Amino acid sequence: MMTFFSRNYDRLMGPLENKIIRSFRERLLRTVKGNVLEIGSGTGLNFSCYREADQVVAIEPNRVMREKSMIRAEQASVPIEVVGAGAEKLPFEDQTFDAVVGTLVLCTIPDPESALLEMKRVCKTGGTLVFLEHVRMNHALWGRLQDWLTPAWSRVCDGCHLNRNAVDMIQKAGFRIVTVEKKYKGLVVVIHAEK
């Protein structure tokens, strides 16, 4: 898919990335260990944040973003392989990964429930799930505004939903939530879960 959003993702995200998201990525990923699966890795903005992973397999269905991410994969300090696949049908054996990582991605995956079941299948028992997501706020006015904005937002931003509840979805898929850190009045959440 060659959309305006995917071609210009880094530029569009730039100010937010530098001010806020970059530090979240670094804090979230520097201690992730073992054989790691990253879901919907986009242009590879997470790749330089891995420090302790043995290797990272990153799946990204969008060809334009995947190609951009290849340069970042080569520059990373751990080995990173980028695979063209969607999260709803992961091309990996059961119990392959020690950790599954996603940033700003459960908002966009067309069928997040199926995707999370797939993540559970490929994650080892006792393995970890680490997510940074923007979610629907638990506030009458702001939550409804997010519902209202989502159809238009989704068309412009390649299917991104402003009003999903990532914590609920992860729990419903059968992961055990370990911690949920809420930021910006609950607009952003950092989730650690376990299989």
Ligand X SMILES: C[S@@+](CC[C@H](N)C(=O)[O-])C[C@H]1O[C@@H](n2cnc3c(N)ncnc32)[C@H](O)[C@@H]1O
Nearer residue to ligand X within complex by CB, 14 or 79:
14
130, 101 in Cβ contact below 8 A?
Answer: yes
Burial status of residue 159 (CB atoms within 10 A of its CB: 0-12, 13-18, 19 or more):
middle
Query: C-beta of 83: minimal distance to ligand X in Å?
Result: 11
Q: Residues 171, 116: contact at Cβ < 8 Å?
A: no
Comparing CB distances to ligand X, the nearer of 26 and 125 is 26
Closest CA relative to residue 23, chosen from 53, 45, 52: 45
86 versus 127: smaller Cβ distance to ligand X: 86
Q: Are 170 and 177 in contact (CB under 8 A)?
A: yes
As measured in angstroms, the least distance from the Cβ of 95 to ligand X is 20
What's the CA gap between 156 and 80, in Å, rounded? 30
Give the span between the Cα atoms of 87 and 91, in whole angstroms. Answer: 9
The pair of structure tokens assigned to 117 is 């079941």
Tokens of 163: 């009003």
Rounded to the nearest whole angstrom, what is the least distance from the CB of residue 140 to ligand X in the complex? 26
Which DSSP symbol is given to 127? E
| The two structure tokens encoding residue 20 | 């806020």
Q: Which is nearer to ligand X, 69 or 128 (CB)?
A: 69
In single-letter form, the type of residue at position 146 comes to Q
Q: Rounded to the nearest whole angstrom, what is the least distance from the CB of residue 112 to ligand X in the complex?
A: 9
Closest CB to ligand X among 122 and 126?
122
Q: How far is the CB of 109 from ligand X (least distance, A)?
A: 4
Helix/strand/coil for 131: strand
CB of 44 to ligand X, least distance (A): 8
Return residues touching ligand X (CB under 6 A): 39-42, 45, 59-62, 65, 86-88, 103-105, 108-110, 160
In the complex with ligand X, the residue whose CB is nearer, 13 or 141, is 13
